[in-house]
Each structure stands twice: as structure tokens, then as C-alpha cells.
């Protein structure tokens, strides 16, 4: 494989690891927010109305940021009836087929995400609640993470192709 492809794979893998680390740290943010909500609601009887929605937004960010990390580490769900019986090159062939399906799906999702983000910006879209937060930041993060997942999917294409050529990229 050319050095530029190897470098691309290394950089994208590093960014995916960083996104996964950031996603994992969001668990603590969600826990702290829910603990604050429980204490203010039950101990001092002053509920904070934004805590649950902030936790929902944080959970969405957790899922979005975890996507590239999950792809990189091959931790996604797979039907393993035939896959586990294939050779390494057979798995690479099958993975090349499925990763192109994933790229198509992510491309459609990205187009929809960009359209949704543009609408949110144009209309200053907000959640209808007492807190009334803007949805622009979470939609922007969704688009950013879809781009990261697409970059990681192309990294997988290069890795599987290299495996088929007999020169795997670590």
C-alpha cells in the first residue's frame, strides 16, 4: 500500500480513538447531571428542568462519537453464522462488500443530516420544552460524526484491500 494510504489509515484511526475516548468520558457527564437532578429534586426540592434534556443530548453525543471507534475496533454487531468459518482473505472480501453498503448508508445519512442541520440553522430550531434548548449543536455534532464514520469506513476499505493483497495495514 502507498505510504499516503497508510498515513491516512493511521490518522483516521487515531481520530476515531480520540472520539471513542471522548464518548466514554461523556458517561461521567451524564451521571453527574442525573445525580444533580436527583439531589436538587429530592433533597432541596428545587428541580432543575434542563437536566434530563441535557442528559438526552449527551447520550446522543455518546452514540454519535462512539460510532467511528466501534467501526475501527470491529465491535459492531454481526451475524456470525458463516463469517467465523471464512479465511482471513474471505472475511476481507465479505467485509469489502459490506463496507461499501455502509458507505452508501452513511452517505444517505450525511445528506439527510446536512439538510436537517441547514433547516435547524435557518429556523433557529429549538426543542419544545421548559428549557427550550437549540438543537443546532447536537445536529452539527451528528454531521461531524457521520463524516468521521465515513472516513473510518474508507479506512476499513483500505485495510481490507491491503489484507486481500497480502500486506495488511496494522
Which residues neighbour 106 within 8 Å (Cβ) at sequence distance 6 or greater?
146, 149, 150, 153
pLDDT in tens, 153-169: 999 999 999 999 988 78
What is the 3-state secondary structure of 29-92? HHHHHHHHHHHHHHCCCCCCCCHHHHHHHHHHHHHHHHHHHHHHCCCCCCCCCCHHHCCHHHHH
Q: Does the reported pTM lie above 0.85?
A: yes
Give me the pLDDT at residue 131, please: 87
Q: Please state which of the ranges 71-85, 102-116, 127-141 shows the lowest mean pLDDT.
A: 71-85
pLDDT above 90 for 84: no
pLDDT above 70 for 170: no
CB 72 within 8 A of CB 13: yes
How far apart CA 56 and CA 31 sit, in angstroms, is 12
pLDDT in tens, 116-142: 999 999 999 998 888 889 999 999 999
Amino acid at each position: 500500500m502507498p505510504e499516503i494510504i497508510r498515513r491516512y489509515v493511521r490518522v483516521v484511526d487515531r481520530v476515531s480513538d480520540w472520539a471513542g475516548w471522548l464518548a466514554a468520558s461523556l458517561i461521567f457527564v451524564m451521571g453527574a447531571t442525573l445525580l444533580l437532578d436527583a439531589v436538587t429534586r429530592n433533597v432541596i426540592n428545587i428541580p432543575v428542568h434542563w437536566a434530563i434534556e441535557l442528559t438526552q443530548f449527551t447520550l446522543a453525543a455518546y452514540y454519535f462519537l462512539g460510532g467511528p471507534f466501534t467501526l475501527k475496533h470491529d465491535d459492531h454487531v454481526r451475524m456470525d453464522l458463516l463469517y467465523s468459518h471464512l479465511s482471513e482473505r474471505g472475511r476481507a472480501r465479505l467485509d469489502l462488500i459490506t463496507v461499501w453498503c455502509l458507505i452508501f448508508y452513511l452517505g444517505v445519512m450525511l445528506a439527510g443530516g446536512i439538510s436537517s442541520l441547514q433547516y435547524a440553522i435557518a429556523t433557529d430550531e429549538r426543542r419544545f420544552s421548559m428549557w427550550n434548548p437549540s438543537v443546532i449543536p447536537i445536529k452539527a455534532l451528528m454531521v461531524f460524526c457521520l463524516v468521521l464514520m465515513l472516513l473510518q469506513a474508507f479506512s476499513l476499505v483500505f485495510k481490507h484491500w491491503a489484507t486481500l493483497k497480502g500486506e495488511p495495514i496494522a
